[in-house]
Amino acid sequence: NAGVTQTPKFRILKIGQSMTLQCTQDMNHNYMYWYRQDPGMGLKLIYYSVGAGITDKGEVPNGYNVSRSTTEDFPLRLELAAPSQTSVYFCASSPPGQFGNQPQHFGDGTRLSIL
């Protein structure tokens, strides 16, 4: 069982470059999320999606874009990379549930450095 798969695992970007972080899940989950985790901190929600064609902003969306054309895939796009976007990015998915009581399944993360 693959679960949630993130690629790449590591990446170094130069300031101003752009890239797409890939996330795919094989559990047929409706809900998908993108978080960032800075050293010694918890996770901050960037964007989330409740189904194909529907996306919404989280706590820290500036500098990022997402799309959800299929149930399985939820790519995160960084335009004009900045040093402040150096972080570990986690993708997660969950089945829908009443009042957020469903478990989130996380990928192993993408470690991104902007130099």
Partner 1 sequence: TQLLEQSPQFLSIQEGENLTVYCNSSSVFSSLQWYRQEPGEGPVLLVTVVTGGEVKKLKRLTFQFGDARKDSSLHITAAQPGDTGLYLCAGALWETGNQFYFGTGTSLTVIP
Positions that interact with partner 1 (CB under 8 A): 4, 31, 33, 35, 40-45, 48, 50, 58-59, 90, 92, 94, 96-97, 99-109
Whole-number minimum distance, CB 46 to partner 1, in Å? 11
Backbone angles phi, psi at 90, to 5 degrees: -120, 135
Q: Which is nearer to partner 1, 11 or 17 (CB)?
A: 11
Whole-number minimum distance, CB 93 to partner 1, in Å? 11
Q: Which is nearer to partner 1, 44 or 77 (CB)?
A: 44
Whole-number minimum distance, CB 15 to partner 1, in Å? 26
Token pair, residue 42, equals 């918890």
Helix (H, G, I), strand (E, B) or coil at 98: helix
Token pair, residue 22, equals 């890939």
What per-residue string of b and e applies to 7-16 under the rule 16 or more CB within 10 Å gives b? eeeebebeee
Q: Which is nearer to partner 1, 78 or 107 (CB)?
A: 107
Token pair, residue 54, equals 């529907």
